[in-house]
Amino acid sequence: MTIQMNQSLSVDCAVFGFNGKSLKVLLIERRYYKPDTHLDPLKLPGAMILENETLPEAAYRVLEEATGLKNVYLKQMEIFSDPKRVSGEELEWINRYHGIRSERVVTVGYYALVKLDARTVAYTTAKGAQWVDVDSIQRLAMDHKQILTTALSVLCREMLQSPVAFELLPRKFTIRALQNLYSAVLGIEIDNRNFRKKILASGFLTPTSEKEQGVAHKPAQYYTFNRNAYKKAVKEKLKLGFINNWKY
Amino acid sequence: MTIQMNQSLSVDCAVFGFNGKSLKVLLIERRYYKPDTHLDPLKLPGAMILENETLPEAAYRVLEEATGLKNVYLKQMEIFSDPKRVSGEELEWINRYHGIRSERVVTVGYYALVKLDARTVAYTTAKGAQWVDVDSIQRLAMDHKQILTTALSVLCREMLQSPVAFELLPRKFTIRALQNLYSAVLGIEIDNRNFRKKILASGFLTPTSEKEQGVAHKPAQYYTFNRNAYKKAVKEKLKLGFINNWKY
DNA sequence: CGGACTTAACGTATAAAATACGATAAGTTT
DNA sequence: AAACTTATCGTATTTTATACGTTAAGTCCG
């Protein structure tokens, strides 16, 4: 057995957004170097790591290029290192596309959460990218479907452990919007009265002076996420899951 | 900017063990290619990734070589990709040691949990490795101190979320031993009466017919971890931290 | 041998959190 | 104006966490 050389390292990002109804992921249509290929056209945004660049830097670079956004929630997931994860025609495509000669490409999966506002949607669509409902995705280029699946499971876990939900919502949001997001991503039903009670009791939401307008029911108050209150609470108490919530 | 080539990928493992009192990590003394070097001698077990090998495979290979154990709890943490994380004399050492010519080494950090029984200790010490108290470690080779620090924080988090503690205990253990482990790793005091109540209420422990012998107090019952009961419980209820424990 | 000592094991009382669900409020739609 | 929808508040019940008292079963030491 020989040590692997002539390999490349890439990053691939599953960029998630929430439109109030369902979870979306950003997909890019790739260009072929020959027209009659049968390779899957849609892929996650990604790039090769450059000299003098760390992996997070590469991921942020990809993300800014794809969305125009700089301060985005971004997190490393796992690394996909199957020696055959890209091979044959796919490897050929990569080498051709990047102008390199690599025998193996190991990729690091990232997942990102963005606020799906009009500006961002305009930017991405102008770039030819598309926001696709995560449930509707059957196949993607290379092993990107697998990366997406991993990202989804990581997102579920994170939603339960930390306040990442707010990364997907606009700055001002209603409690119901937050509830819908949890409900959609986790696929569970939530009692709105208890959810409200729990989330308000946490002290992480600050009410604004604004209310919904033009909705066919009692308009709801808008809140913002109070990150400082959250940080303070984390410091004060260890949060558990397995052996629930002890302080001692 | 150019795409990085001539790079190597390695794995480094923080292997933890618990001796009943404190948390230990397995360290290896590295050999110099010249005697008067000032490089730190102790490092985590690690290896370069081989052709036709995935990263987890590489990590298991390292682990088996270092401990003689095959079925070990092993988990990928994060990737250390600073372009300068090994450079100069350290990079020279790596290239010399492995007989390669690499300009950059990106490493994937793993952490492993093993049961520190007599056989394993004998095996590792015969190999010249040592089990060192984690609190006493000041410096390590390359950026291995940083990898260790990351591993420790991941371990703390995992201990609170999933039953990894049992990977560090012998098959049969007392409730007090489990408590001491939590107490040592998390650095918190735990009320033994409430701990017992909580852990027994979870239904994850199966009592055995054996008791402690020769201890200077009432002998405690030995228990085993009931993994099936745990899996069943996980299925039945989502476990949260941020928005604690809902079922709905 | 007997009392001191230590931890195991059980129990009880209180506080805090989760859950189920009733009732009213404030808008739009028809 | 009645129907409809969701917001918002409230209450009762159950579950879980926490603090801490008590007895049991051994060893240790005189």
In a domain, B186, yes or no: yes
> What pLDDT does A243 receive?
44
Residues of chain B with C-beta less than 8 angstroms from the C-beta of A4: 8-9, 48-51, 53
Distance B193 CA to D20 C1' (A): 9
- Closest of A216, A121, A208, A131 to residue A173, by C-alpha: A208
In a domain, A153, yes or no: yes
Task: Indicate if B33 and B147 belong to the same structural domain.
Answer: yes
CA-nearest residue of chain B to A231? B242
Residue B11 at interface with chain A, using a CB cutoff of 8 Å: no
Cβ <8 Å between B48 and A76? no
Q: What is the DSSP string of A169-216?
A: S-SSB-HHHHHHHHHHHHT----HHHHHHHHHHHT-EEEEEEE--S-S
> What pLDDT does B116 receive?
96
- The beta-carbon neighbor of B8 closest among A3, A53, A248 is A3
Task: Indicate if A63 and A134 belong to the same structural domain.
Answer: yes
In a domain, B242, yes or no: no
Choosing from B110, B140, B161, the residue where a domain stops is B161
Element (H, E) at A74: strand A73-80
Q: How far apart are CA A1 and CA B58, in angstroms?
A: 12
Task: Indicate if A69 and A119 belong to the same structural domain.
Answer: yes
Q: How far apart are CA A8 and CA A102, in angstroms?
A: 6
> What pLDDT does B195 receive?
94
Task: Indicate if B152 and B100 belong to the same structural domain.
Answer: yes
- Nucleotide closest to B216 measured between CA and C1': D27
pLDDT category at B241 given cuts 50, 70, 90 is: very low
> What pLDDT does B5 receive?
87
CATH of the domain at A217: 1.10.10.10
pLDDT digits over B125-151, tens only?
Answer: 999 999 999 999 999 999 999 999 999
In a domain, B246, yes or no: no
Choosing from A136, A161, A186, the residue where a domain stops is A161
pLDDT category at B33 given cuts 50, 70, 90 is: low
In the predicted structure, residue A241 carries a pLDDT above the cut 70: no
Residue indicated by tokens 């997102």: A155
What's the mean pLDDT in A241-246? Answer: 44
Radius of gyration, CA atoms only, chain A: 21
B192 Cβ within 7 A of any nucleic strand C atom: yes
Residue B216 is which amino acid?
Answer: A
- Buried/exposed B80-94: b ≥16 CB within 10 Å, e otherwise: bbbbebbeeebbebb
Q: How far apart are CA B49 and CA A185, in angstroms?
A: 36
For residue A16, give its domain range: 7-161
A16 strand-pairing partners: A25, A113
- DSSP state, residue B241: S
Alpha-carbon torsion, ordered A55, A56, A60, A66, to 10 deg: 50
- Closest of B122, B167, B166, B134 to residue B21, by C-alpha: B134
Choosing from B134, B161, B188, the residue where a domain stops is B161
pLDDT category at B30 given cuts 50, 70, 90 is: confident
pLDDT category at A237 given cuts 50, 70, 90 is: low
> What pLDDT does B40 receive?
87
Residues of chain B with C-beta less than 8 angstroms from the C-beta of A202: 243
Task: Indicate if A142 and A175 belong to the same structural domain.
Answer: no
In a domain, B63, yes or no: yes
In the predicted structure, residue B246 carries a pLDDT above the cut 70: no
Cβ <8 Å between A243 and B182? yes
B132 strand-pairing partners: B25
- Closest of A42, A48, A142, A168 to residue A90, by C-alpha: A142
pLDDT digits over A8-29, tens only?
Answer: 999 999 999 999 989 999 999 9
Number of structural domains (chain A) is 2
In a domain, A65, yes or no: yes
> What pLDDT does A238 receive?
56
Q: How far apart are CA B148 and CA B12, in angstroms?
A: 10
In the predicted structure, residue A58 carries a pLDDT above the cut 80: yes
- Scanning B133-205, the segments in alpha helix (DSSP H) are 144-161, 165-168, 175-186, 192-202
pLDDT digits over B82-108, tens only?
Answer: 999 999 999 999 999 999 999 999 999
The percent of residues in chain A predicted with pLDDT above 90, rounded, is 81
Q: How far apart are CA A221 and CA A206, in angstroms?
A: 10
pLDDT category at B240 given cuts 50, 70, 90 is: very low
Q: How far apart are CA A46 and CA A44, in angstroms?
A: 6
> What pLDDT does A1 receive?
78
> What pLDDT does A34 receive?
66
In this complex, which residue's CA is closest to the C1' atom of nucleotide D8?
Answer: A193
> What pLDDT does B244 receive?
45
In the predicted structure, residue A120 carries a pLDDT above the cut 90: yes
CATH of the domain at B144: 3.90.79.10
Q: Rounded mean pLDDT of chain B?
A: 92
Chain Cα centroid distance, residue B245: 28
What's the mean pLDDT in B17-46? Answer: 87
pLDDT digits over B47-84, tens only?
Answer: 999 999 999 999 999 999 999 999 999 999 999 999 99
pLDDT category at B239 given cuts 50, 70, 90 is: low
Task: Indicate if B90 and B118 belong to the same structural domain.
Answer: yes
* Token pair in block for residue B12: 């480094």
